[in-house]
Chains A and B, each alone.
Chain A
Amino acid sequence: MKLWIEKQRYLIDFTLASLARRKARNIGLLLVYTLLVFMLASVTLYTHALRQEAARVLVASPEVVVQRMVAGRHDLIPPGYMEKIGRIRGVQTRTARLWGYYYDAVTKANYTFMVPAEDAPAKGEIVVGPALERSRGLAANNGISFRSYSGKLHTFIVAAVLPQATELVSADLVLMSEESFRAFFDYPVGHYTDIALTVANPQEVKNVALKLSAALPDARPILRDEVLRTYAAIFDWREGIVLALFSAAILAFGILAWEKASGLSAEEKREIGILKAIGWETGDVIKMKFWEGMLISLTAFLVGFVAAYVHVFHFAASMFEPVLKGWAVLYPHFQLTPHIDGVQVATLFFFTVFPYAAAVLVPIWKAAITDPDSVMRG
């Protein structure tokens, strides 16, 4: 056992010395390899964390949202609609909601104006999202004026700014009282934007939606699960776009790795011959070269992954932010909750480390089984 350990130590020693002897080549390869792992890991870590974030925030949202449709377009909920829903079994609570979009010419961005179900600000006061706080330089107790669609100027006092934790979905939010909202948008009394329903039994959500469609043929029920799926699809799509852009880089790396790893130089072949001639076994040579490849790919994977982790969770993925995050024009600025998925890491490992290790092995095996007498003739 001691002998075996000593042998492995020698192999590792020699491997490290080998790597150091071809410094320029190996550092170049390591840099490109690390950069590739960094980019791939950044994209996957980031989109995964975004999906988690969206799911976390949406957990508290209603199971069903009912919208009224006229000519295939979203229309206001007229008075009397709420009562009809109340008779559907399985519905626990119903809340009529008021919200709408407002285009701010100053920041050239859309805000979402909304009346919260609870703790609505007092008349003339608003609570704003963190992105708005930044773009308009707002703070609590500041005043701000918006010109409504009717042309009238409305002035509000900022009562508070929403917490950063919810920024992904609250970046462009402006919360106000029902009275302020109706006055600002000239919203008719008794009308609402949509209705939020909570359903006690998650198994019943689909049945409730079916019953709603039957009872209110002009209504469109939107299920929370569908919203979650939509978010997931959006992030998947964005991840796909970025990965597609990277595919050229991946291909280039593949060619580089194949060329560097598979094409043993004449010098390396000569060395393998010498080692065999002086008593190294074929297995020792293969092990040594395999360790060389593994050391490069594992180092690249670890450094690339850790760098991606820091990039995503400490520097908010500043490189990919514009493509992967946000909607409207205001990009949410928020800290993602660190989250690593084992399967995701394993997949990334499989697609980056394994092909390189395989590319290294075949030519080394070929060189290692050649007769050692070739060195006599060198």
Chain B
Amino acid sequence: MIELSGIRKAFNQGRDNEYWALDGIDLRIAANQVTALRGPSGSGKTTLLTIVGCLSRPTEGRVRLKGGDISGLPERFLTEIRRQRFGFIFQQFNLIKGLTALDNIILPGYPTGRPRHELLARAEELLVGLKLGHRRDAKVEWLSGGEQQRVAICRALINDPELVIADEPTANLDSHLAGEFMGILESLAGQGRTILLTSHDPLVVESNVVQNVVDMRDGKLIQHR
């Protein structure tokens, strides 16, 4: 589904503190499968995730989505791809404080201009599916860590993306909640979605739900299972 070839990413390019976070990544991410990027801090997992998720562009190399080269597309088109094709679950959840769970979930739907009743119906469906229907009107800062993550998952799914990207999804959860997350992941995979995540949590990378594990170190791929 996604093909990366010769991907390199530099930060502070041309300055004294120039740093290459990714150095020649060639990777094929299979459709309808769960792929995990594993590696220590600073190995380039998150940087690779941002490039795949169209949140940033590679300094060198090509990114192909379903055969089409998207690495050179202007910001506007990348935003559109991000909105239509990807759903994001961030490590810190990144919910907007002061808004209710429901309002946070429908936010990615705003730029699509979809009718409000449609968005709300979809959000309700997702909330009920993740057993969070009773918290729909609660402000997100009043929710527990696990509830916040489930709201973030609902938000990632509101535009019905083909590909879900999750950055260290269990980093802020205890073992019980991490287990619950794996359950959700399994059901998402069961729906035929492509899932790409970063993690160094054995609970995640050693789980049966994850079909592919990509090991990284110092911006390079070192092993691919």
Chain A nearest Cβ from B49, distance in angstroms:
7
Residues of B within 8 A of A372 (CB): 55-56, 82
Q: From residue 208 to 246 of chain A, which have CB atoms closer than 8 A to chain B?
A: none
Q: Which of A8-58 contact B (CB under 8 A)?
A: 9-11, 14, 17, 20-21
B38 CB–A CB distance under 8 Å: no
Q: Is B155 an interface residue (CB 8 A)?
A: yes
Q: Is the interface of A mostly helix, strand, loop or mixed?
A: helix
In the assembled complex, which residues on chain B have CB atoms less than 8 Å from the CB atom of A275?
107
User: How many residues on A have C-beta within 8 angstroms of the other chain's C-beta atoms?
Assistant: 33
Q: Is the CB of A6 within 8 A of B114?
A: yes
B56 pairs with A14, CB closer than 8 A? no
Beta-carbon contact of A373 and B55 below 8 Å = yes
Known: A21-B99, A278-B88, A278-B107. A375 touches B94 (CB 8 A): yes
Interface residues of B in 2-53 (CB under 8 A from A): 46, 49-50
A321 at the A/B interface (Cβ < 8 Å)? no
CB-contacts of A279-333 with B (<8 A): 279-282, 284
Mask for B96-131, Cβ within 8 A of A = 1, else 0?
A: 111100010001101111111000000000000000
| Nearest opposing residue in chain B for A14, CB measure | B110
Which chain A residues numbered 63 to 93 have a C-beta less than 8 Å away from chain B?
Answer: none
A186→B217 CA distance, assembly (Å): 113
Complex formed: what's the CA distance from A10 to B88 in Å?
A: 21
Asked if A7 lies at the interface with its beta carbon under 8 angstroms from chain B, I say: yes
Residues of A within 8 A of B49 (CB): 376
A378 interfacial by beta-carbon distance below 8 Å: yes
Taking CB atoms and an 8 Å cut-off, the chain B residues in 50-109 that contact chain A are: 50, 55-56, 75-76, 79-80, 82-84, 88, 90-92, 94-99, 103, 107-108
Other-chain contact of B92, A2, A14, A276, A378 (Cβ < 8 Å)? A378
* Given pairs A10-B113, A17-B103, A281-B111, 10 additional interface contacts (CB within 8 A): A4-B113, A11-B110, A20-B98, A275-B107, A277-B55, A278-B82, A281-B79, A375-B55, A375-B94, A376-B90
